[in-house]
Structure 1
Amino acid sequence: MRWRRPAWYWRGISGPVAAVRLRVRWGSVMEACELVVAPTRFRLTVARMAHRPAPAPRVPRLVRLRVTRTGLVGRVRLRPGQDTHDFATAADRLRHSFAMQQVVVRELRAGVVELRMTGYDVLRRVQMPRVKPTSGLRVPMALREDGSVHWRDYRQTPHALNLGATQSGKSVYQRRLVMGLAKLPNVALVGVDCKEGVELAPLARRFSALVDNPDDALALLEALLGRMAETYQVIRAEQRITADVPDAEITADIWGLPEEKRPALVVVVIDEIAELSLVSSGSKEEEKRRDQIITALVRLAQLGRAAGIYLELCGQRFGADLGKGITTLRAQLSGRVSHRVNDEGTAKMAFGDIAPGAVLACMQIPDNRPGAAVVASSSGGWSMIRTPKTSMRAAANVCNAHADLTPDIPELARWRPSVAGISLAESSVPAVSEAA
């Protein structure tokens, strides 16, 4: 049970034992980690007047403790003079003292912090929990090191950068993203795969447009710019900013439109972004095409969110040496995911401007953990995640089963992939293996 169903083993055996151990050791551990406060002057004065021993230091109060599927979650009420930084600094000492895998400290409100403790290595063998279907554009992608689910939320983070060396699990992350988006209605997938289409061609039945060379990629991006401009005209026509229109009905993006008038959302998945930036022969035509591609991507990243166009850029290498405009493009990509990389420059391009502490972490990911990655946000926080193993066959079956959800976009009709030779998947799609 410990190996095949670690969550069951933790809930039934290890979790209750760990909870009892934590409550028994709480006071001594707080004192050993210097997380206690000295008694107040009033208590010292009363003890002195009553000829009693000096009172003991005051321990922060553990007000709630519960067992989760991956660990323990405790709520601590701080004593006067303590702050969240004290517990965050002592997180590693708490981990060893309570014999836990990891301890994460988070402030809930003033004077109350949450200790989220992981009881075992949840990334060793990834088992995704069941999640309820959600509205909007959210896809469950991976498992975080604290046992929670990492979501790819396009409304919160419109554009993202996914990096990783060969055999690091970057392609598995990309497959799982396409699988999650394929199940959503009114979502058009647009693919740019300059590796002759070997990564995205098996999933072509769910794609509204798919190209495999830089020339077609440029024409496709220009068509998306034209669609973006037309979508803005639809938004302008529906605003109707008059005195009798409530403030809540005035919108500046596609999500405020009535559902029957909302155009299909477009997610652009680009595999090997470096292939669109490199110039092999050094000719002026290739340099001009390269500049036009980067300019189109920058414009889509800057203006596409309100029009329902989102970018997902993937690659092995991403750096300023790819040419001008790369740094400008990176500034628009709020979501950053980096698997194991081979050079420090790529790690710095991914996290150097938002989470410098994550630069070293993504370079220390071992080779025997494919799918493990570091995810960071623009707020400066970062954490380790791991994507469950997903085969190309499983991803293709899901895309084929949901091919009827593929929107027909007239602007992208000329790049609609030809899938006449691909047979439809059967109605019963095999279950995806969640083990990494």
Structure 2
Amino acid sequence: MTDLATLLEVGGPVATLGGGAAYARARHPGVYWSTVGLPVSTIRLLSSYGSVMEACGLTVAPSRLRVLAVKATTRREVRPVPPRRGIIRPTTTGLRVRLRLAPGQEPADVAASAERLRHAWGVHAVYVTTIKPGVVELRLVGFDVLRQVRMPRKLRPDLLRVPVALREDATPFIRDYRTVPHQLTLGATLSGKSMYLRHLVAGLARQPVALVGIDCKRGVELAPFAPRLSALATDPEQAAELLPVLIKEMEDRYDLIKARQGIAPNTPDEEITSDIWGLPERERPVPVVLFVDEVAELFLVATKKDEERRDEMVTQLIRLAQLGRAAGIYLEVCGQRFGAELGKGATMLRAQLTGRVCHRVNDEASAKMALGDIAPEAVSAACAIAPERPGLAVAGDTSGGWSRIRTPYLSLGDAAETCRDSAHLVPDLPALKPFRPDVPVRPPAETPDPVVRPHPVTD
């Protein structure tokens, strides 16, 4: 009986802690990492750092001075020297530690051993970033941050910079229109492409920016955001009327820039500009972001007349992509498939779209259309996206870099409410007023009947 009581006293709490840790690891990985994973991984890293580096081939022979010093002071064996380790910095999703590379090493050597380091220290992933010559940072991620996406809380808002997703290394993916002016976003049905677009619109709605939409699905994607849109076209016919207006707006802005460039001999250098961002703030026109949803609908034709209209619209889109950045006009082109088979001008338009985001697609050819010309190794990653993870995508740009990202959930009602609350930020652009969408009037809330009905006072 005494043995049973002792077993219950000792084994009960141990079983409870083990079961709680297993539940937290499966359901709340962030809590598990903060309580169990972080101290365990830190101990592993500190205790095995030298041996792991040596096993991964990340050590170099010691200098002669070091050899002489060791032999003169101790009788220990002179071992190879690993990269000098900096302070370990814990985070809510992992660890960060900087390494000063030994002479003769390069960041690619550490990056090639990232998978070995992951297994040695028992973490989910290891990513290597170059900080400066001779210094790299290891970002250890303790769990799969893309399974339950939680955006970082401290994100500094800025004009035309919208945090829309989380990278697999737990850093935010920010859509920066000043750096990447135009982007192509592809994705099959239910892949999360609409959620990505929803985050973009909701993020830009709070900024002094003009939002223009072309939604050839009769407006079902962009119509809920009508209170914040400066213009909306819901079919190819309306798009054919809207695009020339945007071209004229772009040309007017170029005339404004050229007028500013009437350089006098006493003009300061800082007042000479080649885009709207060099203009004084009081003269600077408001930026315009054009969302094109289901871009393939603009290319499809049925008659000869439709073909002429298609060619004109494609030419105007290409002009906006080529010249719009300096005028403060940015393109966000979305679709399920986009390639040369759409018709003349499709490949040329795609070449002007610097940023690429590819969600789950129905075939490998669609992934190649999005990423094959900028990051061929990312095509296989895009094809491996499972249907059970909507919002997961591969983001790349023309620099050749790419990463997996996932967009957090944002309901359509919340995004539409954000647009309604920021409707007062719609800028005054007279040229776009004819295309301003009709905003439905919200019915007034019904006041409930009082619990106690008043009765008239009688004599």
Q: TM-score, normalised by structure 2?
A: 0.87
The 5 Å alignment of 1:122-133 reads 122-133=145-156
Structure 1 unpaired stretches of 5+ = 426-436
Q: What does residue 16 of structure 2 align with?
A: none
Please give the alpha-carbon distance, in whole angstroms, between the structure 2 residues aligned to 1:206 and 1:253: 26
CA contact (8 A) 1:16 1:67 kept: no
Q: What does residue 356 of structure 1 align with?
A: 376
Structure 2 unpaired stretches of 5+ = 1-23, 446-459
- CA separation of 1:52 and 1:294: change in aligned 2, threshold 3 A: same
Is the aligned partner of 1:20 residue 2:43?
yes
> How far does residue 10 in structure 1 lie from its aligned partner after superposition?
3.2
Q: What does residue 84 of structure 1 align with?
A: 107
The one-letter amino acid paired with 1:229 is E
Is the aligned partner of 1:260 residue 2:282?
yes
Is the aligned partner of 1:107 residue 2:130?
yes
Please give the alpha-carbon distance, in whole angstroms, between the structure 2 residues aligned to 1:234 and 1:5: 55
After superposition, give the CA deviation of every residue in 1:323-360 in whole Å (9 maximum; x if it has no partner).
12111111111111110111122111111121111111
> How far does residue 12 in structure 1 lie from its aligned partner after superposition?
4.7
- CA separation of 1:259 and 1:328: change in aligned 2, threshold 3 A: same
Q: What does residue 143 of structure 1 align with?
A: 166
Is the aligned partner of 1:382 residue 2:382?
no
The one-letter amino acid paired with 2:412 is M
Query: RMSD of the TM alignment (CA)?
Result: 2.2
After superposition, give the CA deviation of every residue in 1:83-114 in whole Å (9 maximum; x if it has no partner).
11111111111111111111111111221111
Please give the alpha-carbon distance, in whole angstroms, between the structure 1 residues aligned to 2:295 and 2:217: 11
Please give the alpha-carbon distance, in whole angstroms, between the structure 2 residues aligned to 1:84 and 1:168: 35
Q: Which moved further from structure 2: 152-161 or 61-70?
A: 61-70
Please give the alpha-carbon distance, in whole angstroms, between the structure 1 residues aligned to 2:442 and 2:173: 33
Q: What does residue 308 of structure 1 align with?
A: 328
CA contact (8 A) 1:64 1:76 kept: no
> How far does residue 277 in structure 1 lie from its aligned partner after superposition?
0.9
> How far does residue 243 in structure 1 lie from its aligned partner after superposition?
2.8
- Residue in structure 2 matching 1:407, options 427, 430, 437: 427
The one-letter amino acid paired with 1:65 is I
SS at match of 2:87: strand
SS at match of 1:140: strand
The one-letter amino acid paired with 1:345 is A
Is the aligned partner of 1:293 residue 2:293?
no
Residues matched between the structures, number = 422
Please give the alpha-carbon distance, in whole angstroms, between the structure 2 residues aligned to 1:93 and 1:133: 35
Q: What does residue 278 of structure 1 align with?
A: 300
> How far does residue 184 in structure 1 lie from its aligned partner after superposition?
0.5
SS at match of 1:76: strand
Please give the alpha-carbon distance, in whole angstroms, between the structure 1 residues aligned to 2:426 and 2:191: 30
Q: What does residue 229 of structure 1 align with?
A: 251
Q: What does residue 116 of structure 1 align with?
A: 139
CA contact (8 A) 1:401 1:424 kept: no
The one-letter amino acid paired with 1:153 is D
Q: What does residue 172 of structure 1 align with?
A: 195
Please give the alpha-carbon distance, in whole angstroms, between the structure 1 residues aligned to 2:28 and 2:77: 50
> How far does residue 53 in structure 1 lie from its aligned partner after superposition?
7.0
> How far does residue 81 in structure 1 lie from its aligned partner after superposition?
1.5
Please give the alpha-carbon distance, in whole angstroms, between the structure 2 residues aligned to 1:290 and 1:24: 66
CA contact (8 A) 1:193 1:213 kept: yes
Q: Report the identity percentage.
A: 55
- Residue in structure 2 matching 1:59, options 82, 88, 104: 82
Please give the alpha-carbon distance, in whole angstroms, between the structure 2 residues aligned to 1:44 and 1:401: 70
CA contact (8 A) 1:36 1:59 kept: yes
- CA separation of 1:120 and 1:238: change in aligned 2, threshold 3 A: same
CA contact (8 A) 2:30 2:143 kept: no
The one-letter amino acid paired with 1:299 is R
Q: TM-score, normalised by structure 1?
A: 0.92
Q: What does residue 38 of structure 1 align with?
A: 61
The one-letter amino acid paired with 1:328 is M
CA contact (8 A) 2:288 2:330 kept: yes
After superposition, give the CA deviation of every residue in 1:356-414 in whole Å (9 maximum; x if it has no partner).
11111011011100000011122111111100011111111111111111113111111
> How far does residue 261 in structure 1 lie from its aligned partner after superposition?
1.4
CA contact (8 A) 1:194 1:213 kept: yes
Please give the alpha-carbon distance, in whole angstroms, between the structure 2 residues aligned to 1:50 and 1:375: 54
Q: What does residue 204 of structure 1 align with?
A: 226
Is the aligned partner of 1:394 residue 2:414?
yes
Is the aligned partner of 1:342 residue 2:342?
no
Please give the alpha-carbon distance, in whole angstroms, between the structure 2 residues aligned to 1:423 and 1:351: 46
The one-letter amino acid paired with 1:238 is R
SS at match of 1:259: coil
- CA separation of 1:45 and 1:84: change in aligned 2, threshold 3 A: same
The one-letter amino acid paired with 2:380 is L
Is the aligned partner of 1:322 residue 2:342?
yes
The one-letter amino acid paired with 2:115 is D
SS at match of 1:64: coil
> How far does residue 31 in structure 1 lie from its aligned partner after superposition?
1.4
Please give the alpha-carbon distance, in whole angstroms, between the structure 1 residues aligned to 2:442 and 2:310: 33
Q: Which moved further from structure 2: 341-350 or 118-127?
A: 341-350
Please give the alpha-carbon distance, in whole angstroms, between the structure 2 residues aligned to 1:244 and 1:65: 55
Q: What does residue 182 of structure 1 align with?
A: 205
> How far does residue 46 in structure 1 lie from its aligned partner after superposition?
8.3
Q: What does residue 6 of structure 2 align with?
A: none
Please give the alpha-carbon distance, in whole angstroms, between the structure 1 residues aligned to 2:76 and 2:34: 43
Q: What does residue 191 of structure 1 align with?
A: 213
Instruction: Compare CA radii of gyration and give the structure with the larger one.
Output: 2
The one-letter amino acid paired with 2:408 is P
The one-letter amino acid paired with 2:121 is F
Please give the alpha-carbon distance, in whole angstroms, between the structure 1 residues aligned to 2:231 and 2:299: 21
Q: What does residue 432 of structure 1 align with?
A: none
Please give the alpha-carbon distance, in whole angstroms, between the structure 1 residues aligned to 2:323 and 2:154: 32
The one-letter amino acid paired with 1:27 is G
